[in-house]
Amino acid sequence: MTTAPTGEYADQEFETIDLNINMGPQHPSTHGVFRMVLTVDGELVKDVEPHIGYMHRGNEKLPENCDFRQIIGYVDRTDYLAQFNCEHAYVQAVEKLMNIQAPERAEWIRLILAELNRLTSHYMFMGAFGTDIGVFATPFTYAFREREVIQDLFEEISGDRLMYSYFRVGGLGWDVPENFKERVRQVVQHTWQGIKDIDGLLSKNEVFLARTRGIGMITQEQAINWGCTGPVLRATGLPIDIRKEEPYSFYDQVEFDVPVGEYGDVYDRYYVRLEEMRQSVRIIEQALEKMPDKGPILPERLPRLLRAPAGEVYGRVEAPRGEYGIYIYSKGGPKPWRFKVRAPCFSNLSALREMTIGHYVADAVIILGSIDIVLCAVDR
């Protein structure tokens, strides 16, 4: 849309004002309380200035006054769509610090629940992204139907639909119900159809392709430079996944592939997430076979008060949005001295400017949707 004046007007400079559009904290598609100020020239975005901090709740200061067992509730509420993954990062960090080994059955259950949570999180993405693109809420209802099925299972296990607080340092809070394996198999069967539904609705839709191909491209070097992880990085073509790089829990005993994209654009991020859902189902099915039917879920001798030795640890997992890490610096005692959450959405969102400049206003919304941010993780 750059039109240089020609002919007799070639020497004049037309003075046009760049418009500042404020996609303010209240907006249907900023995925939370997020503000972006776009400087546009007509419809072309010249600059993006994101303003975050509206959801800052002091989630890193509050745990400094909490026992290690109590922090599990705070960790849930950072990334509220992938709670089991966040809890997993936290308990992994504390267990490494205190040199506690969770029993085998607990680890397998943690793995299965984390992968189921990856499914719910990606379903949420499909729903919200479809609405951003403009489909009139159809992928939203499809995705949420599937999500409800999985959340029903989570409610049976942990008693809660959204903030589970189920993992404990050393294992799990309580054992899963007796029919856990059958229920998970039921859920997984249902999910295959749901993935196919959404795939059929969006993946080959010409308008969807026209809207998302070539938009928000980012190269591999840029992505690593900005610290992007997760589907944003894998869409550029790098098969980087913490479950393969630094395997934790029992991920080295299950077989799965890491889907990668090609161009690093919005369509690839969507497709990578769709494929990841299929791989999650594969992991869950294998884990169900390998999981022991009986066994303890907490170690034999867990001290009544968890005192960590002096030291620091950085526990990281592959959350649905990228690398979620918990850094704990302890000076001995039952409370951490510094508790830091490395949220994937924080780094992914900082690359927004890079991805959006040069596109149109309508694309800015789609690019923001494709990064899949959760403001509570960005702002903590």
Contact set for another protein, span 60-79 (CB under 8 A): 60-62, 64-67, 69-70
Of the residues 189, 190, 196, 207, which one makes contact with another protein according to CB under 8 A: 207
Q: Is 264 helix (H, G, I), strand (E, B) or coil?
A: coil
What does the alpha-carbon distance between residue 270 and residue 268 come to, in Å, rounded to a whole number? 5
Residues 163-182 touching another protein, rule: CB under 8 A, are 174-175, 177-179
Residue numbers 306-345 binding another protein by CB under 8 A: 311-316, 323, 325, 327, 329, 334-335, 337-338, 340, 342
Q: Count CA atoms closer than 13 A to 4's CA, side-chain side.
A: 4
Whether 364 and 216 have beta carbons less than 8 Å apart is answered as no
Using the rule CB under 8 A, which residue among 109, 112, 113, 365 binds another protein? 365
Residue from the set 255, 289, 293, 304 that interacts with another protein by CB under 8 A: 304
Q: Of these, 238, 258, 278, 288, which contacts another protein (CB under 8 A)?
A: 238
| Nearest approach, Cβ of residue 225 and another protein (Å) | 5
Q: What is the CA radius of gyration of the chain?
A: 22
User: Is residue 146 close enough to count as binding another protein by CB under 8 A?
Assistant: no
Check residue 300 for interaction with another protein (CB under 8 A): yes
List C-alpha distances in Å: 227 to 55, 89, 163, 352. Answer: 22, 19, 28, 12
Instruction: Out of 291, 354, 371, 373, point to the residue binding another protein (CB under 8 A).
Output: 354
- Spatial contact of 307 and 332, defined as CB atoms under 8 Å apart: yes
Residue 25, interface with another protein (CB under 8 A)?
A: no
Contacts with another protein by CB under 8 A: the residue count is: 109
Best CA proximity match to 324, nearest among 346, 339, 308, 349: 346
Residue 245 sits in the site that holds another protein (CB under 8 A):
yes
User: What tokens appear for 367 in the block?
Assistant: 């690019």
Q: How far is the CB of 8 from another protein (least distance, A)?
A: 26
Chain-centre distance for alpha carbon 240? 15
- Contact flag: residue 211 with another protein (CB under 8 A): yes
How many Å apart are CA 176 and CA 164, to the nearest integer? 13
